[in-house]
Amino acid sequence: MIKIVSFKICPFVQRVTALLEAKQASYEIDYINLSNKPEWFLKVSPNAQVPILITESDEVLFESDAISEYIEETVPDALFDPNPAKKAQQRAWSYLASKHYLVQCSAQRSKDQATLSERSEKLSKAFSKLEAKLTGSKFFDGDRLGMVDLAWLPILHRASIIEQHSGYDFIGELPKVKALQKNILDTGLSEKSVSEDFVDKFSAFYLSEQTYLGQCAKAKQGQSCCGDAECTDDDFACCS
């Protein structure tokens, strides 16, 4: 059976596991601690990063884009369009998502509102491009879930957890992206592609008291708004 080496809150891993789940493929998962990488991992992972995929014949694949293409080619039920031009476009829209994974991680770790606004700007631009491209169909390319949707899944899943806990919405007033987020989350693949304790692990890192979003989350639970002395909004508008 193929094996995925993972870190629980890594969005690059989640893109790969969401693809495996979408194709109903069997796989094992091995979680490692990135702050104390095991020797065996350092020996086989060229960039010392997760995800890696270990094939049934013990070949090690790295880089989530390459791993996703391997899964697409080797596991039945193609999710890319067979037309080369269409496929190239779908790859490009997938890259737009994956190149914003770390942007979102960094925004989520912002210590104050100004930093969050500054760091969210790049992600907002990507969401605006996506909004302009979407047609209003259920998924990116019609009614069937595809590779582009799976590339956006980690970002949209994280945005939803952040919104639920803190009231802050990375997406904002973009109806088509909001509808896509709902349709992707409704597939259940976001939960299936992470560990059971994902929300706890994610919250411990991104919604701790050290982050602005963590302060918003605390405020939303009924304490003072945002921890900001000037902010007294009952509905936490300061966090939205």
Ligand X SMILES: N[C@@H](CCC(=O)N[C@@H](CS)C(=O)NCC(=O)O)C(=O)O
Residues that bind ligand X (CB under 6 A): 7, 10, 12, 34, 48-51, 63-65
Residue 19 makes CB contacts below 8 A (sequence gap 6+) with 68, 71, 72, 79, 147, 150
Cβ proximity to ligand X, 33 vs 164, nearer residue:
33
Cβ proximity to ligand X, 50 vs 239, nearer residue:
50
Question: Structure tokens of 101?
Answer: 């994974």
The answer to whether 94 touches 154, Cβ cutoff 8 Å, is no
Least distance from ligand X to the Cβ atom of residue 68, Å:
9
Cβ proximity to ligand X, 12 vs 168, nearer residue:
12
Cβ proximity to ligand X, 49 vs 94, nearer residue:
49
Cβ proximity to ligand X, 55 vs 223, nearer residue:
55
DSSP notation for 48-86: S-S-EEE-TT--EEESHHHHHHHHHHHSSS--S-SSHHH
Least distance from ligand X to the Cβ atom of residue 62, Å:
7
Least distance from ligand X to the Cβ atom of residue 194, Å:
13
Least distance from ligand X to the Cβ atom of residue 12, Å:
4
Question: Structure tokens of 183?
Answer: 């349709």
**Residue 102 CA: distances (Å) to CA of 27, 82, 106, 109, 152:** 26, 30, 6, 11, 13
Least distance from ligand X to the Cβ atom of residue 160, Å:
19
Which of 169, 160, 192, 161 is closest to 29 using CA atoms? Answer: 192
SS3 (DSSP) at 117: helix
